[in-house]
């Protein structure tokens, strides 16, 4: 079955270009030129991936991403003509999985899409990973702490799985980049720290008594799975 991709972009020329290009790679493309209807399509059409522009009418891509993330962990690649590092920080903090500045090569976009979708579909699965009160179901992409579900983005989920499989081991940034290869870590060094900070916050909100991920200064991060 062809993967379904939703494009939320107000530039019809870019939409037409991507529609033709992605269709040539076997993707089923749906699109919206307006963010509010695009958000509705995320929940109604259940795409496998969303390509989201930042500069949109009515509400921008950041707010669009925020609203999508309230109910969905669908992978999101954000597009923007702006190269401001702060834009990248905001996009990652809101839960975007990747970030591609305009102008871009369509083949690079496809490569990033394929990497993200491959990780989603080909997680090295031990169906359920249990670490203390934490339960990770790699088949269903769900995380629970003592029965309470923790809503994570695709990137956060895969980061947590990487940590859980390396419990007690200090992982450097290079090792994290290698373990989650294909993400645009090198293009934005702080993206690792931003993603780990978001993951920590969500785990802490669900289990305030435990510190799951500790910083080892000068070395990296260590997953303990307990206080």
Q: Are residues 63 and 20 in the same domain?
A: yes
Residue 98 has pLDDT above 50, yes or no: yes
The token pair that represents 47 in the structure block: 């795409």
Q: Are residues 179 and 92 in the same domain?
A: no
Final residue in a domain of this structure, among 70, 95, 121:
121
Q: What is the pLDDT of residue 1?
A: 53
| Domain CATH for 159 | 1.10.10.10
pLDDT tens figures, 130-157: 888 888 888 777 899 888 888 888 888 8
Q: Are residues 101 and 201 in the same domain?
A: no
The token pair that represents 51 in the structure block: 């390509």
| Domain CATH for 44 | 3.40.50.2300
At CB < 8 A and 24+ separation, what contacts does 35-40 make? Answer: 35/8, 35/59, 35/60, 35/61, 35/63, 35/64, 38/6, 38/8, 38/64, 39/64, 39/67, 39/68
Cβ neighbours of residue 14 under 8 Å, at least 6 residues apart? 53
Q: Are residues 11 and 115 in the same domain?
A: yes
Q: Name the nearest CA neighbour of 145 among 162, 129, 158.
A: 129
Q: Are residues 74 and 171 in the same domain?
A: no
User: pTM of the entire structure?
Assistant: 0.64
Return the top range by mean pLDDT from 35-49, 72-86, 146-160.
Answer: 35-49
**How many structural domains are present in the chain?**
2
Which of the pair, 71 or 109, is modelled with greater confidence?
109
Range of the domain at 132: 128-226
Final residue in a domain of this structure, among 121, 143, 162:
121
Q: Are residues 91 and 109 in the same domain?
A: yes
Q: Are residues 137 and 100 in the same domain?
A: no
Q: Are residues 87 and 135 in the same domain?
A: no
Strands (E) across the chain are located at: 4-8, 28-32, 49-53, 76-80, 98-101, 128-131, 134-137, 142-145, 148-149, 170-171, 211-216, 220-226
| Burial class of residue 136 (count of CB atoms within 10 Å of its CB; 0-12, 13-18, 19+) | buried
Q: Are residues 115 and 150 in the same domain?
A: no
Strands 4-8 and 49-53 come out as: parallel
Q: Are residues 37 and 88 in the same domain?
A: yes
Q: Are residues 92 and 166 in the same domain?
A: no
Q: Are residues 96 and 158 in the same domain?
A: no
pLDDT tens figures, 172-200: 888 887 777 555 544 445 678 888 888 98
Q: What is the pLDDT of residue 5?
A: 97
């Amino acid at each position: 079955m062809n993967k379904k991709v939703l494009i939320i972009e107000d530039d019809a020329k870019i939409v037409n270009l991507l529609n033709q290009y992605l269709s040539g790679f076997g993707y089923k493309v749906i699109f919206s030129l307006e963010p509010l209807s695009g958000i509705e399509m995320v929940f109604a059409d259940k795409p496998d991936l969303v390509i989201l522009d930042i500069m949109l009418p009515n509400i921008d891509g950041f707010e669009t991403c925020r609203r999508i993330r309230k109910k969905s962990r669908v992978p999101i690649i954000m597009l923007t003509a702006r190269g401001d590092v702060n834009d990248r920080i905001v996009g990652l903090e809101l839960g975007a999985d990747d970030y591609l500045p305009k102008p871009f090569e369509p083949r690079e976009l496809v490569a990033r899409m394929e990497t993200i979708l491959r990780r989603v579909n080909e997680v090295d699965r031990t169906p359920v990973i249990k670490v203390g009160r934490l339960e990770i179901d790699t088949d269903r992409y769900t995380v629970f702490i003592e029965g309470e579900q923790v809503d994570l983005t695709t990137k956060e989920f895969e980061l947590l799985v990487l940590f859980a499989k390396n419990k007690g081991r200090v992982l450097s940034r290079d090792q994290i980049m290698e373990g989650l290869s294909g993400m645009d870590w090198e293009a934005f060094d702080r993206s690792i720290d931003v993603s780990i900070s978001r993951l920590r916050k969500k785990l802490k909100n669900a289990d305030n008594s435990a510190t799951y991920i500790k910083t080892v200064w000068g070395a990296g991060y260590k997953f303990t799975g307990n206080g």
